[in-house]
Amino acid sequence: MSFSAHLDALFEHLRFASISTDSRHAGDVRNCAEWLAAKGRAIGLEAEIHETPGHPVVILRSVPKPDRPTVLIYGHYDVQPVDPVAEWRTPPFEPTLIDGRIWCRGATDNKGQHFAHFCGVADALAEHGDLPVNVIFLLEGEEEIGSPNLEPFLRSHADRLRADICAVSDTGMLGRGIPTLTYGLRGIACLEFIVRGPSLDLHSGVYGGAVANPALIISRIVASLHDEAGRVQIDGFYDKVEPLAEWERAMWASLPDGEAATQAETGVPGLWGEAGYTSLERRWARPTAEVNGIGGGYQGEGSKTVIPRQAMAKLSFRLVPHQDPEEILALATRHLQKVCPASCLIEVDKGHTGPSYVMDPHSPHGLAAQTALRRTFSDEPRLIREGGSIPIIQSIKNVLGIDSLLLGLALPDCQIHAPNENFTVENFEAGIRLNRALLEELAR
Ligand code: BES
Ligand code: MN
């Protein structure tokens, strides 16, 4: 198939508003799954749509041949919400080609990336009627909501998903044209909590000074998460965290300036973080506590003299090897309850979790991935860990017993999860070549 036909197909894929978190889009998620299955059948793959309690899982399988390795290729066809929608320069679900980039929600995270693998397989089948390895695509519709139904699916279908290695393009590249193998991801644990005070919003003049203000209390609770050195102050939070390995610190120190990159990519006025670590170490290999949302009280125009009856915050923790997400949620809950004064009530709701992941980039499969990256980008692969999470990667290890090669195609300025998400045409094309090289190397 020609590259422009692949591009047209990717545009079709991108037009589905497959936002997994928003029930109003459940039909779009399903239509996207059905489209993928039909595309798979059209290139000669066996396609199955599996129902789950949530969004469907799509499996595409090449006709299995004995005596050759099987590669599981994981991706997710669900996307993040598009708000704030006013900040998009092009309609979020109308892929638009400008300056060599495809602008659309899901362009990089993750439709463009997994579809590059699909196109690589399509080309190989069209050229040779065969593939160097057996391929199973595992495409889920719930990654952006923590993959709540995928591990049970892996367990119940483990026999049919048996593979030698998993390949995933859902991570980043250090920069344009820089081949990057990610050998570790942080884990995640989410929670939200409400601080309740008076039984109704109060006049802040009549009662102010005599009752605790939940918005103030929640600020103090949130502020208690870190000390002045940027360390998380939850008792036991670091107990299982291992010090960084010297070889990793040295390898990352030899990469282009991480402080400058972090500053440039984020536009912050100044950097921040745990004392004693570089930006890259903080982002890739140290655990964190973040506030993802906080609210309470009057947010409209002008002033309103009120003591709000409640305030809320949403937190997430990024975790590193050996930290157990459930245990971290328990420790965090204890901390929040301890810090909340008797003048207010606190209610904590635990959210989704996912473990961290690390593999050996010098294993035989890791070396095959490095060779494929070298062939695709004509440069020496950089070995990194990343701060984002793909919880199912560790489940794949636990349930299927295989590692995942994280061969990301996301550029630092691709704006995933933000308005104006984009994917370069260059990386879509490179991703197709990467798939070809990878399957060849894994066949050796
Ligand atoms: N593709 C990302 C994860 C990612 C991004 C890894 C950049 C490495 C570099 C994935 O789609 C994602 O956003 N994951 C969520 C997981 C969560 C919702 C359970 C995340 O990391 O917040
Ligand atoms: Mn994402």
| Domain-located, residue 415 | yes
| pLDDT greater than 90 at residue 272 | yes
Report the number of distinct structural domains present in the chain. 2
Q: In whole angstroms, what is the distance from residue 294 CA to residue 259 CA?
A: 28
Give the DSSP H/E element, type plus range, for residue 265: helix 258-266
- The predicted structure's pLDDT at residue 157: 98
Give helix 214-223 / helix 325-339 axis angle, nearest 10°: 130
317 and 406 share a domain?
no
Residue 260 falls inside a structural domain = no
Alpha-helical (H) ranges within 64-149 are 113-128
Q: How confident is the model at residue 214 (pLDDT cuts 50, 70, 90)?
A: very high
pLDDT digits (tens, 9 = 90+) for 171-184: 999 999 999 999 99
> Residue 255 has what pLDDT?
94
Among the candidates 312, 336, 351, a domain finishes at 351
- The CATH number of residue 160's host domain is 3.40.630.10
In a domain, residue 224? The reply is yes
Ligand 2 center–CA 49 separation, angstroms:
22
Ligand 1 nearest-atom number relative to CA 354: 19
129 backbone φψ class: left, alpha, beta (φ>0; ψ -120 to 50): left
Residue 15 sits in the same domain as residue 110: yes
Could you tell me which residues are beta bridge partners of residue 203?
Answer: 306
CA-closest candidate to residue 332, choices 350, 320, 344, 345: 350
Q: What is the pTM of this model?
A: 0.94
263 in any annotated domain: no
- Distances in Å between the Cα of 283 and the Cα atoms of 28, 198, 201, 380, 385 are 34, 40, 40, 23, 9
Q: Is 144 in the pocket of ligand 1 (CB under 6 A)?
A: yes
Q: 361 and 228, same structural domain?
A: no
CA of 334 to the centre of ligand 2 (A): 29
* Rounded Cα gap, residues 70 and 439, in angstroms: 10
Q: What are phi and psi of 110, to 5 degrees?
A: -140, 10
Q: Where are the alpha helices (DSSP H) in 59-213?
A: 113-128, 150-156
Q: Which of 78, 109, 423 to mutate to test the pocket of ligand 1 (most atoms within 8 A of CB)?
A: 109
**Same domain assignment for residues 192 and 179:** no
Residues 236 and 327 in one domain: yes
Same domain flag for 84 and 220? no
- CB-ligand 1 contact for 403 (6 Å cutoff): no
Instruction: Give the range of the structural domain holding residue 333, as residue numbers without chain letter.
Output: 187-246+285-351
316 occurs within a structural domain: yes
Residue 1: what pLDDT? 83
Note the pLDDT of residue 35.
Answer: 99
Query: Final residue of a domain: which of 300, 332, 351?
Result: 351
* Phi, psi (degrees; rounded to nearest 5) at 53: -60, -15
Check if the beta carbon of residue 166 is closer than 8 Å to that of residue 405. yes
Residue 52 backbone phi and psi in degrees, to 5: -135, 175
Task: Find the ligand nearest to 75 CA.
Answer: 1
In a domain, 270, yes or no: no
Give the tens place of pLDDT for each residue, 280-329: 999 999 999 999 999 999 999 999 999 999 999 999 999 999 999 999 99
Instruction: Write the pLDDT tens digit of every residue in 35-68.
Output: 999 999 999 999 999 999 999 999 999 999 999 9
| CATH number (domain holding residue 202) | 3.30.70.360
Asked if residue 422 and residue 372 are part of one domain, the reply reads yes
- CB contact at 8 A, 421 and 104: yes
Closest by CA to 408, choosing from 399, 387, 418, 398, is 387
- How confident is the model over 385-435, as pLDDT tens digits? 999 999 999 999 999 999 999 999 999 999 999 999 999 999 999 999 999
> 419 with 315, same domain?
no
Is the distance from CB of 380 to CB of 178 less than 8 angstroms? no
**Residue 72 Cα, ligand 2 centroid: separation in angstroms?**
20
Q: What is the dihedral of CA 306, 310, 311, 315, to 10 degrees?
A: 180
259 domain-assigned: no
What is the structure's pLDDT at 147? 95
> Could you tell me if 91 and 202 lie in one domain?
no
**Boundary residue ending a domain (351, 367, 382):** 351
Residue 417 counted as domain residue: yes
> Is residue 188 within 8 Å of 147, Cβ to Cβ?
no
Query: 372 and 435 share a domain?
Result: yes
| Rounded to 5°, angle at Cα 423 from 76 and 139 | 10
Distance of alpha carbon 138 from the chain centroid: 16
Concatenated DSSP letters of 153-174: HHHHTGGGG--SEEEE--SB-S
Indicate whether residue 75 lines ligand 1 (CB < 6 A). no
For the purposes of burial, counting CB atoms within 10 Å of the CB of 129, is it exposed (0-12), middle (13-18) or buried (19 or more)? exposed
Assess whether pLDDT exceeds 90 at residue 232.
yes
Q: What is the mean pLDDT of the chain?
A: 97
Task: Pull the structure tokens for residue 443.
Answer: 């066949």
Using the atom order of ligand 1, give the atom closest to the CA of residue 316.
Answer: 22
Judge whether 379 and 181 are in contact, CB under 8 Å.
no
Peptide bond into 84 cis (omega under 30): yes
Distance 109 CA to ligand 2 centre (A): 5
What are the structure tokens assigned to 215, written together?
């918005």
Tokens of 36: 């993928």
Give yes or no for residue 143 CB within 6 A of ligand 1: yes
For residue 145, give the ligand 1 atom closest to its CA.
18
Please check whether residues 163 and 136 belong to one and the same domain. yes
Are 11 and 55 part of one and the same domain? yes
For the chain, the residue count is: 444
Q: With a 6 A CB cut-off, is 172 part of the ligand 1 pocket?
A: yes
